[in-house]
Amino acid sequence: MNNHDRLLQLQALVDMGLDAARTLAALELLGAAKMSKEELEDYRLWNDYMEVAERNPYTPEQRYLHLLWEAVDRVPLGINCAFAIPFRQMIAKKLFRRCGEGFVAHEGCRFNYGHQIEVGDNVSWNMGVYVDAKGGVVMEDYAMLTEWVKIFTHNHDEENHLIRTYAPVHVGKFAKLYTACTVLPGVTIGKGAIVATGAIVNKDVEDYTLVGGVPAKPIRKRKVKSEDPDVYQQYMMYHGEFQKK
């Protein structure tokens, strides 16, 4: 079966609304290990055991969508970009609170609460991104996370680990977060801002500002002359595949 036909069949299952039977059919199309209906219905994710799961739990359908997101990284199709990127777009559009056009996620990207993630148009996640969405995450159009970027939206009390506080993270339009940087709860990354490799961001970043270091501090203004997407070319793939219209 070619990629196009497989994706069409998966899209049909997702559009009908995932229940156990349709999820099992989707897993079979992905080439995942077989399981029974009883095993699938008993399936629980890590985030099912977190405090947020009591306040804002996944529906069974959302859990199945999240399972399929994880499953594609565990089968050979997961490294076939021609299949896996459109497949992740499909899941994100159904699972995320909002997902615009041209969302690209490479393999190994993880999140805990997809229904608390909002992404605009042409947002990119490179390999190994981790998004802790307990407190909510918003990424505006053309925002980009490169390899191994981590975003956190919650903290634990120092005395009682079960006491948590939450604060959303907002990443502005055209912002770029470079390899292995970390964004802490409550931070807003401004429009067109850049976070340098390895930085730890614990305070808001102003628009069009490059920050770096631990903790991150302003270094200079970003060198830009236009806000035209065709000038920025802020796409994940070289020719803007899966994104550029």
Residue 191 lies in a domain: yes
Same domain, 139 and 219: yes
Same domain, 118 and 216: yes
Same domain, 83 and 141: no
Q: Which domain holds residue 25?
A: 1-45+52-95
Same domain, 109 and 40: no
Q: Which two tokens stand for residue 89?
A: 């777009």
Task: Kindly report the three-state secondary structure assignment for every residue of the chain.
Answer: CCHHHHHHHHHHHHHHCCCHHHHHHHHHHHCCCCCCHHHHHCCCCHHHHCCHHHHCCCCHHHHHHHHHHHHHCCCHHHHCHHHHHHHHHHHHHHHCCEECCCCEECCCCEECCHHHEEECCCCEECCCCEECCCCCEEECCCCEECCCCEECCEEECCCCCCCEEECCEEECCCCEECCCCEECCCCEECCCCEECCCCEECCCECCCEEEECCCCEEEEECCCCCCCHHHHCCCCCCCCCCCCC
Same domain, 64 and 173: no
d(CA 106, CA 1): 23
Preceding omega of 168 cis (within 30 degrees of 0): no
Same domain, 115 and 69: no
Structural domain total, the chain = 2
Residue 238 lies in a domain: no
pLDDT tens digit sequence for 70-129:
999 999 999 999 999 999 999 999 999 999 999 999 999 999 999 999 999 999 999 999
Residue 231 lies in a domain: no
Residue 59's pLDDT band, with cuts at 50, 70 and 90, is very high
Residue 14 lies in a domain: yes
Which residue in the block uniquely carries the two structure tokens 């196009």? 4
Same domain, 88 and 156: no
d(CA 130, CA 109): 6
Residue 105 lies in a domain: yes
The residue among 228 and 63 whose pLDDT is bigger is: 63
pLDDT at 244: 75
pLDDT at 228: 77
Same domain, 67 and 148: no
Strand partners, 220: 210
Same domain, 172 and 162: yes
- Altogether, the residues listed in the chain come to a count of 245
Q: Is pLDDT at 231 greater than 90 in this prediction?
A: no
Residue 174's pLDDT band, with cuts at 50, 70 and 90, is very high
Same domain, 79 and 5: yes
Residue 167 lies in a domain: yes
Q: Is pLDDT at 35 greater than 70 in this prediction?
A: yes
Closest by alpha carbon to 162, among 52, 63, 56?
52
Same domain, 60 and 118: no
Q: Is pLDDT at 216 greater than 90 in this prediction?
A: yes
The residue among 225 and 138 whose pLDDT is bigger is: 138
Residue 149 lies in a domain: yes
Q: Which two tokens stand for residue 208?
A: 């069009």
Residue 245 lies in a domain: no
CATH of the domain at 199: 2.160.10.10
For 4, 134, 214, the CA distances from 157, given in Å and listed in that order, are 49, 15, 22
Strand partners, 177: 145, 195
Global pTM reads 0.94
Same domain, 106 and 77: no
